[in-house]
Each structure stands twice: as structure tokens, then as C-alpha cells.
Amino acid sequence: MKIAITASGETLDSPVDPRFGRAKYFIVVDSETGDYRTVDNAQNLNAAQGAGIQAAENVVHLGAECVLTGNCGPKAFRAMQAAGVKIIIGVEGSVSGVLEKFKAGEYQTADASNVEGHWL
């Protein structure tokens, strides 16, 4: 399964970026093979508004079926839910550590956003 993890660096040992829409990078990993690619999210990081929705669109286009991040606001949540992407909130530590925990089935899919939307 393809999963997207928000990261503050480009490699698997980077810490998870707690922000979703304004995460520095997305690391998209195939949880079976371990193959991954890093996608720069700089465009959304600096967006005036709609960063969460845009990021949601990006992860959908990247083919991710599940997103793991620290926090997720209501608009991004709604957009990903509509596209059938599972969302796991509240993860922390290194990307590789999160990946291991994910494979071990330690996480639960969120059924609602955990933070408020914010403006500008």
C-alpha cells in the first residue's frame, strides 16, 4: 500500500513534520517493498490560503491510500475523505520509525480532523 508521511527532511531518518498542509516534504512509501520518493511541498508551505486542500489533492495524485501526519485541519480532512484516503493523525518521531509502527498495525485511522482551520 502506498502511504504518504509528512516529513521535515528528505530522507527516511528525518523527523515527521507535524503540519499537513504546510509540511516541508511528503515521503511516499510503498509499505510492501519499502521503495520511497520524496516530494517537495514548498509551494503549499508558502501558500496564502488553501494549503491543506492543495496538499490533499497532491497526495491523492501521488497515489497515496493513507496519510500519516501530526495534525490535520477540517478542509484537508474533508478533501482526503472524499477521495477515499485514510488519515492517521498524531504520529511523531522519525519517518522510518512511523513506517515500522504503521506496518505493525499500531495506528488507528482518524474519523475527524484534530485541529481548527486557520487563515493566512
Residues that bind other proteins (CB under 8 A): 49-50, 53-54, 56-57, 60-61, 75, 78-79, 82-84, 119-120
Supply the minimum distance, in Å, between the C-beta of residue 104 and other proteins: 29
Q: Closest separation between CB of residue 9 and other proteins, Å?
A: 26
Q: Is 2:8 a contact under the CB 8 Å cutoff?
A: no
Instruction: Please count the other Cβ atoms lying within 10 Å of the Cβ belonging to residue 68.
Output: 26
User: Do the beta carbons of residue 61 and residue 80 sit within 8 Å?
Assistant: no
Nearest one of 71, 68, 77 to 101, comparing CA atoms: 68
Nearer to other proteins, 43 or 108 (CB): 43
Give the residue with the Cβ less far from other proteins, 82 or 108: 82
